[in-house]
Amino acid sequence: MTKVDKNFYIKLGKFFLLKSFRIATLLFAICIISFLLIKNSPIDPIQAYIGADMLTVGPEQRERIAEYWGLNLPVMVQFWNWLSALLTGDLGTSMIYRSPVSEIISERFIHSLVLMIAAWLLSGIFGFAMGVIAAMKKDTWIDKIIVWYCYTLASTPTFWVGLLMLIIFAVWLGWFPIGLSVPVGSLAEDVSIADRLRHLILPAVTLSIVGVANVALHTRQKMIDVLASDYVLFAKARGERGFVLFWRHGLRNIALPAVTLQFAAFSELFGGAVLAEQVFSYPGLGQATVEAGLRGDVPLLLGLVIFSTIFIFAGNLIADLIYYVVDPRTREGWRI
Amino acid sequence: MISSLNISVEAGEILAVVGASGSGKSLLAHAILGILPSNAKVSGTIKFNGEILTSARQEALRGREIALVPQSVNYLDPLMRVGKQVRTSVKKGNEAKAQREVFERYRLKSDVDKMYPFQLSGGMARRTLLSTAMVSGARVIIADEPTPGLDPAVINEALNHFRDVADNGNAVMLITHDIESALKIADKIAVLYAGSTVEVAPANNFTGNGEKLRHPYSKGLWRALPQNEFIPIPGSQPHPSTLPSGCLFEPRCVKATLECTKAQPVMRELRNGIVRCIHAT
Ligand SMILES: Nc1ncnc2c1ncn2[C@@H]1O[C@H](COP(=O)(O)OP(=O)(O)OP(=O)(O)O)[C@@H](O)[C@H]1O
Ligand code: SF4
Ligand SMILES: [Mg+2]
């Protein structure tokens, strides 16, 4: 039974208070910046709204649409209107999908989440294992191959790997479908879980192939440090070796940093997903972001910016929290 | 590089190892256990019960037949509760019982069991390190500076414990700066200088002005103690990378002659002890 001091809960409370303040100020800053950026960009929201019907719409109608969306008001007033709507939970309506932004985001997010979780787990597990193996076999050919792989992959663009995977596994070998999250032309209720999985594998593997580099290199370095530490030397002096040594002293000391790193890597995961989804025509958040950007869907773009900020912040928060709660040096640190 | 060790520890004996900081005492301990870094070179012989230790035997023996009390608290795993670290050192018998008994003996409260190393005071950590070796049931215990920071009562407890262990037919190698406490329990004292053993003498030779000692360095070390003449030896120990080619002590030795610069003296027997000095009598 772990004794936890009540000081710990006070500290934890302060921690959350500080973090809430952080996210509030961060979101506010992000809102202002992205709003101003978009307002000053060449995007014409009316054209985005009307799309291909542009030619049939006269100047009067344009004027009425602008008035309807409040586009003639001063920028700060527009910002204020948008922000107050935002605070009541209304993210506005997407111009290209013609439905509420919150609905689009939540629907797309489910798709992306499955993809990201799969990629996150795969890259975490394989990256960790690769790092451990490289460190245990330091300076052998296995180590050299792993390190070479990681450095090469770290500098390879995700979309390029994605294209390569598509060409090899979908086009040449035909093992996997070329895109989308469900078979083309089938009704939603006819789609089986197996189908969804088949569509998920290529993008998830692509994301993981690129994603292992960071965890693997980090874990390798950490493991090398641990193996050179005095406590591993002493464990050897007590007759421990091989797997027992790794299990008792290695894993314990490298697992925490690795898990933390994985949570902190949410931002890369999100960035990777945007590219991978585009390549594989996977209808997730990433694809929606590209669409919104290209076609000038301002409300959707702003909603996505806010959502991704929260998502990445959550990853970092979890990372911090794990260190705070799991590491005994912080958990039980106030007892003496 | 550790050179010319010529150390042997017999059952029933306590051998104290003394020498200035950086003379390689900890390296000697690690060499015996075979846990030196892979780039280290060792020459000379290490004997266990009269038999020469090979690296295969070292690996088989460590933790079971030979136990180490390491020098610093960093040798405890920072993320493992200390009770568990002691229990995993037990090689035969009931782990939990052995750990409770040894904690009691060293006056560690029962809640120390559940603590992490960072929660221990320096003294508690040392007693934990001592415990790991004491529960191992090893026949040779190598203790690297086990006593600094402990209060006198616990020091006595630990020293008596070492004596008991030796009297039960085991061997103890006690590395220390504290020659005075070492003399209370040790049978033999080995003096280290710049990585090699310069003398091994019976403990009772360390009396008076050191007349009974053989090597000029041992005499100097003995006289430099506060309770004796308190005169330090002029100069300092050579750096391991710039060792003199002759006798390692030659640059600081008052009895040095030209002959001393020619080659490292070999270890020779002299008056019930051994010494590495061509002029020793
Ligand atoms: N014979 C040697 N060959 C190479 N390096 C040596 C030798 N002796 C000492 N050293 C160097 O000096 C450092 C200290 O050695 P060591 O820890 O064995 O000294 P010590 O006698 O235990 O000192 P202390 O009393 O401070 O614990 C070692 O890390 C090593 O780098
Ligand atoms: S061999 Fe010579 S230099 Fe070395 S200790 Fe003896 S007398 Fe001194
Ligand atoms: Mg030392």
Q: What ipTM was estimated for this complex?
A: 0.88
What percent of the residues of chain A are helix, what percent strand, and what percent coil, each to the nearest 5?
Answer: 80, 0, 20
Q: What is the mean pLDDT of residues B141-165?
A: 88
pLDDT for res B2: 54
Residue extents of the structural domains in chain B: 11-186, 198-281
User: What is the per-residue pLDDT for B44?
Assistant: 72
The reply to whether A144 touches chain B by the CB within 8 Å rule is no
Q: How many domains does the structure of chain A reveal?
A: 2
- Structure-token pair, residue B176: 């220390």
Note the pLDDT of residue A149: 92
Task: Summarize pLDDT for A298-316 with one digit per residue, the tens.
Answer: 788 888 888 888 888 888 8
User: Quick one: A145 and A190 in the same domain?
Assistant: yes
Residues A77 and A172 in one domain: no
Q: Is the pLDDT assigned to residue A190 strictly greater than 70?
A: no
pLDDT of A128 strictly over 90: yes
| Contacts for A215 with CB less than 8 Å, ≥ 6 apart | A123, A124, A127, A128, A131, A258, A261, A262, A265
Q: Which of A54, A87, A120 is the last residue of a domain?
A: A87
Interface check A333 vs B, CB under 8 A: yes
User: Which member of A3, A230, A240 has the closest CB to residue B74?
Assistant: A230
The residue out of A32, A52, A87 marking a domain boundary is A87
Residues A320 and A255 in one domain: yes
Tell me the percentage of chain A whose pLDDT exceeds 70. 87
**H-type helices in chain B, by residue range?**
25-33, 55-61, 82-87, 95-105, 122-134, 152-167, 179-185, 216-223
Residue nearest to atom 9 of ligand 1 (CA): B24
Give the one of A231, A241, A333 whose C-beta lies nearest to B77's C-beta.
A231
Q: pLDDT tens digits for B69-82?
A: 998 888 999 999 99
Residue A288: both structure tokens together: 């929606």
pLDDT in tens, A49-107: 666 565 666 777 777 777 776 777 777 787 788 788 878 877 777 777 778 888 888 88
Q: Which of A77-81, A302-306, B132-136, B167-171 is the least confident region?
A: A77-81
pLDDT > 60? residue B99: yes
What confidence tens digit (pLDDT) does each residue in B50-61 have?
777 888 888 888
- Looking at the structure, tell me whether residues A179 and A209 fall in a common domain: yes
The per-residue pLDDT for A1 is: 41
For the four alpha carbons of B128, B132, B134 and B140, in that order, the dihedral sign comes to negative
Residue A96 belongs to some domain of the structure: no
Q: Which residues line ligand 1 (CB under 6 A)?
A: B 1-2, 19, 21-27, 71, 195, 240
Can you read off the two tokens belonging to residue A248? 């008792």
Across A166-177, average pLDDT: 76
Q: Check: pTM over 0.90? Answer yes or no.
A: no
In 3-state terms chain B splits into helix, strand, coil percentages (rounded to 5) of: 35, 15, 45
Which CATH number covers residue A168?
Answer: 1.10.3720.10
Domain co-membership, A325 together with A188: yes
Listed range (A253-257, A318-322, B2-6, B86-90) with the worst mean pLDDT? B2-6
Average pLDDT, chain B: 88
For residues A211 and A261, membership in a common domain is answered with yes
Of B177 and A67, more confident: B177
Strands of the sheet with B46-48, listed across from one edge: B7-9, B46-48, B51-52
Average pLDDT over residues A19-26: 89
Is the pLDDT at B38 greater than 60? The verdict is yes
Q: Measured from the CA of B27, which atom of ligand 1 is nearest?
A: 18
Look at residue A260 in the predicted model and tell me its pLDDT.
86
| A105, A82: one domain | no
Query: Residues A153, A286: one domain?
Result: yes
Nearest CB neighbour to B76, from listed A231, A248, A256: A231
DSSP label at B2? B
Please check the confidence at residue B210 and state whether its pLDDT lies above 70. Answer: yes
Do A146 and A226 belong together in one domain? yes
Helix (H) or strand (E) holding B198: strand B196-202
CA gap A240, A232 in Å, rounded: 9
How much is the pLDDT for A202? Answer: 83
Look at residue A44 and tell me whether its pLDDT is greater than 80. Answer: no
Cα distance between residue B181 and residue B150, in whole Å? 13
Residues A149 and A270 in one domain: yes
Residue A185: which pLDDT band, with cuts at 50, 70 and 90?
Answer: low
**Which among B197, B185, B183, B273 is positioned nearest to B228, based on CA atoms?**
B183
A93 located within any domain? no
Give the whole-number percent of chain B exceeding pLDDT 90: 38
Name the domain boundary from A55, A87, A119.
A87
A247 lies in the same domain as A140: yes
Domain that holds residue A20: 3-87
Please indicate, yes or no, whether residues A216 and A132 belong to a single structural domain of this protein. yes
Which CATH class for the B11-186 domain? alpha beta
What is the rounded average pLDDT for all residues in chain A?
81
SS3 A188: helix
Q: From the CA of A228, how many Å to the nearest CA of chain B?
A: 9
The CA distance from A171 to the nearest CA of chain B, in Å, is 50
